[in-house]
Amino acid sequence: MTEPLLQATNTGKIYPGGIEALRNANLTIAPGEFVCLIGASGCGKSTLLRMIAGFETITTGQITMRGQPVTGPGPDRGMVFQDYGLFPWLTIRKNIAFGPIARGRPKAEAMATADRFVTMMGLDRFAESYPHQLSGGMKQRVAIGRVLANDAQMALMDEPFGALDAMTRERLQDELLSIWRATDLSVVFVTHSLEEAIFLADRVVVMSPGPGRITAEESITLERPRDVSSPEFNEIRRHLASLLHTDHVREAA
């Protein structure tokens, strides 16, 4: 059996004032696996993602990466935000090269790495452009390229396509899957969209609020590329929607 890449065990988060954002989360991510977290606002999706990234301290339980406790951010886990998080004063090429340079790689090597991922992201024409000169979709490609250039084993994505128009979002979903298939990257992807989760994921993790917790996990075994209009796809969507609705009704009661 393959050793887990990441494991969260009875993980919880309580903020000052006694606000419990997450309770007893148990989650295992295998190498190369694509996992989506879904659930209503306030269910702890982003909190769990930020704890995996090392941006939030863990109150209870633990999170390990290849058996080692996560105690802070690291290059093995790369975060992709909805607002891109790019450095506006750096060109696209230098944004992607930033991580390798910060880790002490020789500049020539870092720039060669950046060039490789500029090409992989389809951004050759924009390598010397600045973030403000790019569309939202292109900025998100840069953010993904920056994670890959840093030798990350896992990409942590917090609604990265949420601010994009529908056509751009669909195109980037296809491109993300192409990049994922071409690398050994594991992906943990937060979304509010059931359709997006089913289209992308090997496994969908359902979370509920009050406090945030994991209430169900569903493996998605549909062959790729997935047809969002197929009966099989919509049967899964109805099932996941019923899980979310049941948890909402339980919480309201």
pLDDT (mean) for 53-72:
95
Say how far apart CA 90 and CA 92 lie, in whole Å. 7
Band (pLDDT 50/70/90 cuts) for residue 250 is: very low
Most confident segment among 79-93, 130-144, 228-242: 228-242
Give SS3 for 28.
Answer: strand
Give the tens place of pLDDT for each residue, 65-117.
999 999 999 989 999 877 778 999 999 999 999 989 988 999 999 999 999 98
| CATH superfamily entry for domain 1-64+163-253 | P-loop containing nucleotide triphosphate hydrolases (3.40.50.300)
Helix (H, G, I), strand (E, B) or coil at 13: strand
Q: pLDDT digits over 22-35, tens only?
A: 999 999 999 999 99
Sheet holding 6-15, edge to edge: 19-29, 6-15, 60-65, 68-69
- What tens digit of pLDDT does each residue of 202-234 get? 999 999 998 999 999 999 999 999 999 999 999
Span 149-182, pLDDT tens digits = 888 899 999 988 887 788 888 988 998 898 888 8
Residue 1's pLDDT is: 54
Domain boundary assignment for the chain: 1-64+163-253, 77-152
Q: Residues 59, 83, 38, CA angle at the centre, nearest 5°?
A: 55
What's the full length of the chain, in residues? 253
Does position 248 have pLDDT exceeding 80, yes or no? no
